[in-house]
Amino acid sequence: MTENQHFGDEAVFIENYVHFQVLVSKYTAFKQLVYSRLEKSLSVYTSQPKSVCIKGRKFPLYKGRDEKKILYISGIAQWLEKSQNHKAIEIAQAIANDLLVTCGDVFQVAIVPPGWIYLELSQPILAAWLQNITNGNLERPGRSGKTANLNIKNSQRLFTAQYAYARCCSLLQQAHREELIQLREVQNQALSNSAIACWQILFPNPIPWLNSDGKLRCYHPPESQLIGELVQVVDDLHCDDVKSSVNWEKAALNLSQAFENFWSQCRIWGKVKIAARELAQARLGLVMVTQSVLRLLLEEKLGVVAPLEL
């Protein structure tokens, strides 16, 4: 890749990131963003989009299981069918049309009979979301008394999560020493009692998440699976409709296993570092995001130390 191509890639990402940064800074979790956009589009079919049920986030919304994409599936049209005296497919189409006009750059929208609305997040907004977390903007949800360390039932799951966290720290420090990235320690009052390091990636900034075609560099199955787990955990951390039902030990284990699968199959050093430096940096960005999310799981939800090393 030539120097001009590199600057072209960076310019593409910066343009998209600036466009989306307000959204990702306002909505820590993508599920929050989807709910918000659906609420606004409900005015197409109802004069009371802010009803108690809607404000309570009780209308149907599910995260799809396709590991190749970040997809949300809404049953809001079927939920409204009887009260609005219209077929679900008609309601879904009207909502989808409004979504395409107002946020077609955020979602790819599709309608599936009998009235499901499929919302696939665009790759530029995924990149902006990942960048927002590497910048240290992942909010801390607050520790619940229900998640104290006395409730930990499986010490092996806990060790797996702590090991994955320590591995993230080790990889980031190694990359910093080899000048592949430049780290900066973050001084955060909320972390004053933490026994671990908290970093941001100072260089490259922004991380080259996207190529010149506006597509994520990290698109292989282990990378996509890891991104999907990260999105799921952040949704669970910040959406009140699911917090009480989440098994946080299992969530930490799933994320840790996805990271280990990513690390074992997606190289950073050697030929990748030399011939595809931007890809190596994007993968290190995923390591940083994983570290940030695991830290919240360990400290806030499991009530244990996130260790710098084991």
Domain spans of the chain? 3-123, 142-301
pLDDT at 14 over 70: no
Task: Tokens 């902006």: give the residue.
Answer: 128
pLDDT at 23 over 90: no
pLDDT at 193 over 50: no
Average pLDDT over residues 119-141: 90
pLDDT at 308 over 90: no
How far is 107 from 125, CA to CA, in rounded Å?
9
Closest of 67, 93, 40, 11 to residue 231, by C-alpha: 67
Taking domain 3-123, whether its CATH number is 3.30.1360.70 is answered by yes
CA quadruple 298, 303, 305, 310: dihedral positive or negative? negative
pLDDT at 249 over 60: yes
CA quadruple 185, 186, 192, 198: dihedral positive or negative? negative
- Coil, strand or helix at 66: coil
Q: How confident is the model at residue 167 (pLDDT cuts 50, 70, 90)?
A: very high
Give the pLDDT confidence score for residue 15 in this predicted structure.
57
Is 115 in contact with 87 (CB distance < 8 Å)?
yes
Mind listing the pLDDT tens digit for each residue in 93-109? 999 999 999 898 999 99
Average pLDDT over residues 43-62: 60
Better-predicted residue by pLDDT, 131 or 6: 131
How far is 70 from 247, CA to CA, in rounded Å?
21
pTM summary value:
0.86
How far is 216 from 66, CA to CA, in rounded Å?
17
Give the pLDDT confidence score for residue 149 in this predicted structure.
45
DSSP 156-193: HHHHHHHHHHHHHHHHHHHHHHTTSSEEEE---GGGTT
pLDDT at 228 over 70: yes
Give the pLDDT confidence score for residue 147 in this predicted structure.
45
Q: How confident is the model at residue 142 (pLDDT cuts 50, 70, 90)?
A: low
β-partners of residue 267 are: none
Give the pLDDT confidence score for residue 145 in this predicted structure.
42
Is the bond preceding residue 307 a cis peptide, omega within 30 degrees?
Answer: no
Among 46-55, 181-190, 207-216, the range with the most confident prediction by mean pLDDT is 207-216
* SS3 of the chain: helix, strand, coil, percent, to 5: 60, 10, 30
Give the pLDDT confidence score for residue 59 in this predicted structure.
72
